[in-house]
Amino acid sequence: MIIDCHGHYTTAPRSHTEWRTAQKAAFTAGLLPPPYPDISDDDIRASVDGSQLRLMTERGIDLTIFSPRASAMEHHFGDEAVSARWAQVSNDLIARVVQLYPGRFAGVCQLPQSPGVPIAQSVAELRRCVLELGFVGCNLNPDPSGGHWTSPPLTDRSWYPFYEAMAELDVPAMVHVSAVTNPVFHATGSHYLNADTTAFMQLMQADLFTDFPDLRLIIPHGGGAVPYHWGRFRGLADMLGRPPLEESVMGNVFFDTCVYHQPGIDLLFNVIDTGNIVFGSEMIGAVRGVDPQTGHHFDDTRRYVDALDLPPGDRDRVYALNARRIYPRLAAH
């Protein structure tokens, strides 16, 4: 079995995204948003069958851990009520996809984060999605300001109420930023990768996992810059008087395979233990084109992993067993 840990609903029905535009316009004008539209099962099927599901079938991916479009979470916009309503309708739509295709998708929720609002306010939506909708995890934004980094580090105690809820529910979080309003950053080319790297450094500098030994965090996009500068981070840990990375961080942190060329995947697997790598493609996401050097889609990451000379046990871990361990609620799903 092959489980893709990193999929976003980037092809959601147009009426869903149009409602979001109307919600934002209403907030800006000081008005109430219009009612959320009726979206039929046929609308959802049309948005999935010819895109996400077709590519999963073509590439031999059995199950995708599916969440709302990351760049559209837009936690920076509006206020707490706006973010809460947008998270609710987005998560409900994911739940409907899962209900229509229970063998192909498992849900991961968007959180109603908002700048300056305590993360504890997101616990209720996490509980709803896990306990009522059957979701297996969440996406946690370390920078809801949209690229201005006004939040404290992920290791700050202000995040602890949310980690306590994650521990109670036994669900992981993918550390994933959203849209960026800072003009110096490109969203997927710099902001995403910067955030991945920043999150790892924050985790390395503190003792979060001493307080939460069972907390599980996925850092996407191949871990940002981390595996490719592993010596730098090992050296910094030593300079800062921190324990070795294998002891202080890597028992709780995992990287996905959303790295869009063979040399990058080769390096990831040469540096990081296969117990810390989980298969992901981010399909259909940041890079949708065909690589002119290979003639294959950049985000067909299974092709890169298959090209590795992995022992069968390691291959099974990366493709499915690690995901089952990180997302224990997949068993019930």
Cα distances (Å, whole numbers) of residue 272 to 193, 275, 287, 304, 317: 18, 8, 24, 16, 13
Q: Which two tokens stand for residue 19?
A: 């409602």
HSE (CB half, 13 Å, CA atoms) of 150?
A: 15
Round to whole Å and give the CA distance between 259 and 222. Answer: 6
Which of 74, 164, 168, 282 is labelled catalytic?
282
What does the chain come to in residues? 333
CA dihedral 208→212→218→222, nearest 10 degrees, is: 40
Sequence-ordered alpha helix ranges (H) in the chain: 14-29, 41-49, 52-59, 80-100, 123-127, 160-169, 192-205, 208-211, 230-239, 245-248, 262-271, 301-306, 312-316, 322-326
Specify the residue for token string 């109603």.
112
Say if residues 326 and 65 touch (Cβ distance below 8 Å): no
- State yes or no: is 125 an active-site residue: no
Q: Which residues are catalytic?
A: 282
